[in-house]
Amino acid sequence: MQTVLAWYDAHARDLPWRRPGTTPWEVLVSEVMSQQTPVARVVPAWREWMRRWPGPTELARAPIAEVLRVWGRLGYPRRALRLIECARSVVEQHDGVLPDDLDALLALPGVGEYTAGAVLAFAHGRRALVLDTNVRRVLARAVAGQALPAPSLNRTERERALHLLPDDDSTAAHWSVAVMELGALVCTAREPNCGVCPWEVSCAWLAAGRPADVHAGRRRTQAWRGTDRQARGLIMARLREVADGQPVEAGELKACAARAGLSGTGGAPDPDQPGRALTTLLTDGLIATDDDGATYRLP
Ligand code: SF4
């Protein structure tokens, strides 16, 4: 354990939300943004976001269109709407102060097991399970001797992680961030750099001769080109470009979305995809219409 902690102290990235004085709310926003987006893209968006809406009170009253613009290209924009809902709940139920209790955190919109654990560990220095994809991968390899963890988090993994978590709060929080950083920088999904890893001498996967991924057949691939997700992203990108509240004709948005089908590799484009992308964005509350679908705008 000490070698992993020492490695972190020597190699951790200087991320803005790790600096002293970062508030629990700032940590929460950084974690929500980082869950499905590379850190290099998160850092500028997080800075801009915190400059505009430093706490839940400011975000709770922010115009949704402006929030979606600042969210920009982070992807999965429903996360931005969930952050607004979360901010409103914090304001209404906790006087604008993010709670520091696990159950109260889990009751907030968009806050799951991982985010709640990250806030407790990284903002409050407490002993909490923090199991993101990086931590899961490191523990699967180093402890369980598997190339990659199972597609979904299971009880064995939780127990394994809990067993390794140091007893005292500050060492546990240090350990959680260290293992996460190790997964981000060294024990990466595609090319683990075992030669510089502090776990090299006792890593179970390495000792077993780096066996193949036993869950490979059950893993969903994260394709993007040609998908509805790409089509939705193209519509959102067009709407972010126009001035506040300005509508864009459905035909123009469908033409934008159709570029996704043309870029795909799975044969002829799906003619229903552009319309489907518009409908699902509307259902998700990410776009709005004032004339029954003739034009659309950001909400
Ligand atoms: S030795 Fe290699 S596989 Fe094992 S934890 Fe380190 S980087 Fe990952």
Task: Give per-residue pLDDT as tens, 72-94.
Answer: 889 899 999 999 999 999 999 99
Q: How far is residue 116's CA from residue 137's CA, in Å, rounded to a whole number?
A: 20
Confidence grade of residue 265 (pLDDT, cut at 50, 70, 90): low
Q: Is the pLDDT of residue 64 over 80?
A: yes
Question: How many other C-beta atoms can be found within 10 angstroms of the C-beta atom of residue 122?
Answer: 23
What does the pLDDT read at residue 120? 97
Asked whether the beta carbons of 70 and 29 are under 8 A apart, the reply is no
The number of the ligand 1 atom at minimal distance from the alpha carbon of 138 is: 5
If one compares 243 and 171, the residue with the highest pLDDT of the two is 171
Q: What is the mean pLDDT of residues 13-39?
A: 95
Alpha carbon of 217 to ligand 1 centroid (Å): 23
What does the pLDDT read at residue 246? 86
Whether the predicted model's global pTM rises above the 0.85 cut: yes
- Which one is catalytic: 26, 31, 157, 181? 31
Q: Is 138 in the pocket of ligand 1 (CB under 6 A)?
A: yes
Residue-wise DSSP of 191-216? ---GGG-TTGGG-HHHHTT----TTG
What does the pLDDT read at residue 161? 96
Q: Is 206 in the pocket of ligand 1 (CB under 6 A)?
A: yes
- Atom 8 of ligand 1, nearest CA residue: 187
Task: Provide, rounded to the nearest whole percent, the portion of the chain with pLDDT above 70.
Answer: 98
| Average model confidence (pLDDT) across the chain | 93
Q: How far is residue 159's CA from residue 194's CA, in Å, rounded to a whole number?
A: 25
Q: Is 250 in the pocket of ligand 1 (CB under 6 A)?
A: no
What does the pLDDT read at residue 266? 63
Q: Is the pLDDT of residue 250 over 70?
A: yes
Q: How far is residue 64's CA from residue 3's CA, in Å, rounded to a whole number?
A: 46
Q: Is the pLDDT of residue 227 over 90?
A: no
Q: Is 142 in the pocket of ligand 1 (CB under 6 A)?
A: yes
Alpha helices by DSSP H, listed for 53-154, are: 56-60, 64-71, 78-94, 102-106, 113-118, 124, 133-142
Q: Is 205 in the pocket of ligand 1 (CB under 6 A)?
A: yes
Alpha carbon of 203 to ligand 1 centroid (Å): 6
Q: Is 186 in the pocket of ligand 1 (CB under 6 A)?
A: yes
Q: Is the pLDDT of residue 264 over 70?
A: no
Q: Active site includes 181?
A: no
What does the pLDDT read at residue 12? 96
What does the pLDDT read at residue 271? 86
Q: How far is residue 39's CA from residue 143's CA, in Å, rounded to a whole number?
A: 26
Alpha carbon of 154 to ligand 1 centroid (Å): 21
What does the pLDDT read at residue 269? 80
Q: Give the pLDDT confidence of 130-143 residue by residue, as tens digits.
A: 999 999 999 999 99
